[in-house]
Chains A and B, each alone.
Chain A
Amino acid sequence: MQRSLLSLPLNFSLRNKLFNAGFRVIADLQRLTDSELIHEAGVSQQDVLELLQAVRGEGGDAWSSSTSLELLQKEGESRSIVSFCSQLDEALSGGVPVGKITEVCGTPGVGKTQLCLQVAVDVQIPPCFGGLGGHVIFVDTEGGFLLQRIEDIAAAVVRHCSLLVEDDEQREGILTFTVETILSNIYVVRCNDYIEVLAQLHLLPDFLLEHPRTCLLVIDSVACPFRHIEVVSQRTQLLQSLGLQLTNLAIRYNLAVLVTNHMTTRLQGSQSQLVPALGELWGHAPTIRLLLQWLNSQRVAIVVKSPDHMEAIVQYQITSDGLRDVDESV
């Protein structure tokens, strides 16, 4: 089958020029010198450059290919971020994975933001303590990023690590692992609407170049700015491209992406049901979906969707130090 020129990411005017000149498939471009092309289609030098780039498959639409064995090796090298709730970490085989999108859904007050804050601190645990020593971008759309809270959690993590010090390297490491450094390595971005969120993500690749140690992107929450877009088709479209953009970021820059989402009521016949907000289509975007909810006055986390794991229910609690296992004494 011949490949149509329509399959190239060209701008409208260039495409129309080519079609009006009678070009239809990519093979039509063969055997033409560039000057002939400029003459035949009435295009500019600049257009030829764009065409060249598109034909080569360069630019934003690049794709990569590898065998799954190579992928397995890559996966073996990539790490997960612990949550300090060992049951949850076990259910996710190590915690919040790098290179994937993890979504946390739940009703207000169940602990979504707490989980985000906890992970934002945990990602910074130095490698000598088995952590990633990474930096964080925290996109806050609800004003849930409370400095007091993050200080408490950071202090608890520093305390925890200082108890583990055994060798010289760790003694060295703990000196630079303080509440101050933790706070200075979290880049908080406040966004008020979806346009700001999208703009921020658009600028992110530049930021990541300047801050190569960043390995966690938190969006708390993704529901708040997007929920209230009135036109459903517009909302779906924006969310779908957001999903692709996040996947792309996660894989290309090796980021752990952690987003939170609200719950909403769906009527099905006479029954009503609590389901994650933003519609079913959005649900395909995150690779892992966690549902936080109350079960018999106990907080539980359910792994609803994950390619590696079976569904699991684990208990957790929120203490003044952050997210912890239930049986752990405070």
Chain B
Amino acid sequence: MVMSSHSSFTVKTKTRAEIKLASEERIKNMGESAARPGDRRCLKDIEPRLFSDDGRPEQGGVVELYGPEGTGKTELLYHLICRCVLPKSAGGLELDVMFVDTDYSLDMFRLVSILDSRLNKALPKSSPSAGSDEEALLRSCLSRLLVVHCSSSAQLLLTLHFLENSFSSRPSLELLLIDSISAFYWLDRCEGGPSFSKQEEKLSKCSDLLSRLLRDYRITVFATCHSIRRVQTGLSSSASLSYSSDSDRSYLCRSWQRLVTHRLMCFRQEAANNTSDEAGSSIQQRIQQVFRVHCISSFSSSGSKPYKTNSFYVTDAGVEFTSV
């Protein structure tokens, strides 16, 4: 009995691979001919409020969102997903997004509720039968999102190789999100043993592959990176003065750092209506958490290093920027 269930299991994995191959074929046919780089639109205006005017990410740009837990990185990614997958009538770009989830951080329910409220806001309820229409609309938005889970850096590398097909066959697939690129950092460090180059080998390979994909298919990458040291909480208000402080320096490998064109530093800001903080635990009223994001781009058309700071808070409808 054990034998039979085992063999059925192997059969299952084999068929999974076959399904993948078949659907790979299907995707290819769908795109008819291979996409030319010129076919891709520019994602420059994916979120103008994050970037300075002359420092928006070009095609092939890599944006790193950097910050500790609870600074709104994943919320920003949801915002970007929504910007891309929403129909043009709802203020979106109608593009496909690939989400590489290495942290199991994607909360589908949260994403759906953001999409829902944005759809509702943009499209006023017209007919009584709008319910099913909305459902279909939501579904069509969601089908523009592709999610892939990776559980090791080796798998990430193989998956990026595998995704090359998708990029070449789907010209509307322009945005690659990775949450997070630092997920396997400690595992790689430990697996590499004493050799430093061995520790960084996997991520280097991923970065090299990504850089080729960026060049060949002109996609844009947003990746989150967790900070690994605790930032002094007292410093958060004065952090604006020391963006390039030691604790914020990227710890990932060189080839990744070379790839990054923009860094978005995420912070948690003091609540605006912070009233009584006396007993430490007597926070009864709901505090509006404000997040701050500071963008540094490594190069721009004008040659200088432009930067921009913006703040946002999180509502049921996702990220709301405080200034335009």
Query: Would A and B touch once assembled, by the CB under 8 A criterion?
Result: yes
**Which A residues are within 8 Å of any B CB, using their own CB?**
1-2, 4-6, 12, 15-16, 19-20, 24-25
Q: How many angstroms from the CA of A310 to the CA of B288 in the assembled complex?
A: 38
Look across to chain A and name the residue whose beta carbon is closest to the beta carbon of B194. A16
Look across to chain B and name the residue whose beta carbon is closest to the beta carbon of A12. B193
B154 interface residue per 8 A CB criterion: yes
Is B151's CB under 8 angstroms from A19's CB?
A: no
Q: How many angstroms from the CA of A4 to the CA of B194 in the assembled complex?
A: 18
B191 interface residue per 8 A CB criterion: yes
CB-CB nearest 3 A-B residue pairs: A16-B193, A1-B151, A19-B191
Is A20's CB under 8 angstroms from B154's CB?
A: no
A-B contact pairs, 14 of them (CB 8 A): A1-B151, A2-B151, A4-B191, A6-B187, A6-B191, A12-B193, A16-B194, A19-B191, A19-B192, A19-B193, A19-B198, A24-B152, A24-B154, A24-B191
Q: Which residues of A contact B198 (CB under 8 A)?
A: 19-20
**Which B residues are within 8 Å of any A CB, using their own CB?**
151-152, 154, 187, 190-194, 198
Shortest beta-carbon distance from B104 to chain A in Å: 11
User: Assuming A4-B187, A6-B187, is B193 touching A15 (CB within 8 A)?
Assistant: yes
Q: How many angstroms from the CA of A19 to the CA of B153 in the assembled complex?
A: 14
Shortest beta-carbon distance from A21 to chain B in Å: 11
Of A2, A20, A25, which one neighbours B193 at CB under 8 angstroms? A20
Shortest beta-carbon distance from B148 to chain A in Å: 15
A19-B193, A25-B152 are known; give 20 further A-B pairs, CB within 8 A: A1-B151, A2-B151, A2-B152, A4-B152, A4-B187, A4-B191, A5-B191, A6-B187, A6-B191, A12-B193, A15-B193, A16-B193, A16-B194, A19-B191, A19-B192, A19-B198, A20-B198, A24-B152, A24-B154, A24-B191
Q: How many angstroms from the CA of A247 to the CA of B193 in the assembled complex?
A: 32
Interface centre among A5, A15, A24, A25 (most CB of B within 10 A): A24
Look across to chain B and name the residue whose beta carbon is closest to the beta carbon of A16. B193
Shortest beta-carbon distance from B198 to chain A in Å: 8
Look across to chain A and name the residue whose beta carbon is closest to the beta carbon of B278. A269
Interface centre among B152, B192, B193 (most CB of A within 10 A): B193
Q: How many angstroms from the CA of A2 to the CA of B158 in the assembled complex?
A: 15
Q: How many angstroms from the CA of A15 to the CA of B187 in the assembled complex?
A: 13
Look across to chain A and name the residue whose beta carbon is closest to the beta carbon of B279. A269
Q: Which residues of B contact A1 (CB under 8 A)?
A: 151
Q: Which residues of B contact A2 (CB under 8 A)?
A: 151-152
Look across to chain A and name the residue whose beta carbon is closest to the beta carbon of B190. A6
Q: Which residues of B contact A12 (CB under 8 A)?
A: 193
Q: How many angstroms from the CA of A15 to the CA of B191 in the assembled complex?
A: 8
Shortest beta-carbon distance from A235 to chain B in Å: 20
Q: Which residues of A contact B194 (CB under 8 A)?
A: 16
Look across to chain B and name the residue whose beta carbon is closest to the beta carbon of A1. B151
Q: How many angstroms from the CA of A5 to the CA of B191 in the assembled complex?
A: 9
Q: Which residues of B contact A24 (CB under 8 A)?
A: 152, 154, 191
Shortest beta-carbon distance from A1 to chain B in Å: 5
Q: How many angstroms from the CA of A4 to the CA of B193 in the assembled complex?
A: 14
Look across to chain A and name the residue whose beta carbon is closest to the beta carbon of B186. A6
Q: Which residues of A contact B154 (CB under 8 A)?
A: 24
Shortest beta-carbon distance from A18 to chain B in Å: 10
Q: Which residues of A contact B152 (CB under 8 A)?
A: 2, 4, 24-25
Q: Which residues of B contact A5 (CB under 8 A)?
A: 191
Q: Which residues of B contact A16 (CB under 8 A)?
A: 193-194
Q: How many angstroms from the CA of A19 to the CA of B190 in the assembled complex?
A: 10
Q: How many angstroms from the CA of A20 to the CA of B194 in the assembled complex?
A: 10
Shortest beta-carbon distance from A68 to chain B in Å: 29
Q: Which residues of A contact B151 (CB under 8 A)?
A: 1-2
Shortest beta-carbon distance from B194 to chain A in Å: 7
